[in-house]
Amino acid sequence: MSREVQVRFCERRGVRFPPPTLPFDSVGSFTMLHHVATLALQNKILAEAFRVLRPGGVLIGSDSLASNDLHHFHAGDTYNPIEAASVLGRLQTLGFEKITIMVDGILKFVAHKPGARSACGAESGPGQRHDQRPGTQKRRHRTTRLRRGRGADAAGGESRGRAR
C-alpha cells in the first residue's frame, strides 16, 4: 500500500512571510541570524517562524558563535553574533516550549510551538494521542535542556521523536 506524502519547501527572506495556505510542520534557520543587523530584527524573524508553524510544529536552527576569526571574516558585512545564553529566554518570550539548546562549537536549538487542544481540552502533540488521558503519555522531551559536549545530532537531540 503506498501512502502519498506532501512535502513543500519554502525559502523566504526577511521578517514577514506571505500568509501560508497551510501552517508549516517545521521551520529551519541555519547559520543566518548573525547576518541580521539588530536583536529586534532577529526576534522578528523568530516570531515569524512561530506564527507560521502549526500547533506542535518545530523550529530547528543553528548559528555561529562569536569569535575574532568570524568577526574578521565578516569585515564589510553585517555581523551581529547570537549570545547563546540569551536564546532560551528569547524563544520562551515568543511562546516556544520544549526548547533544547546545545553549544558545541556552534549554537544549535530546537523549539516547539505549543500543541493543539483536542475536543476534551487535553493538549495533543508529539507523544500523545487525542484519546489518551492527560499525564499518561510517555515523556519524550524535557521542557528545557542546556547541553555542552558531543553526542547529539544537528537537530540538538540524540533520539528526537522516539520514546526514551
Say which residues have a Cβ less than 8 Å from residue 119's Cβ, sequence separation at least 6. 130
Per-residue model confidence (pLDDT) at position 3: 74
| Rounded-to-integer distance, Cα 14 and Cα 41, Å | 9
Per-residue model confidence (pLDDT) at position 34: 94
Per-residue model confidence (pLDDT) at position 152: 36
Amino acid at site 133 = R
Instruction: Quote the distance between the C-alpha of residue 47 and its chain's center.
Output: 11
Per-residue model confidence (pLDDT) at position 81: 92
Per-residue model confidence (pLDDT) at position 69: 93
Cell of 132: 489518551
CATH domain 25-126+140-148 topology: Rossmann fold (3.40.50)
| Rounded-to-integer distance, Cα 96 and Cα 162, Å | 20
Render each residue's pLDDT in the chain as its tens digit; 164 residues: 667 767 666 666 655 666 667 788 999 999 999 999 999 999 999 999 999 899 999 999 999 999 999 999 999 999 999 999 999 999 999 999 999 999 999 999 999 999 965 444 455 444 444 433 444 443 333 333 334 443 333 333 333 333 33
Per-residue model confidence (pLDDT) at position 103: 96
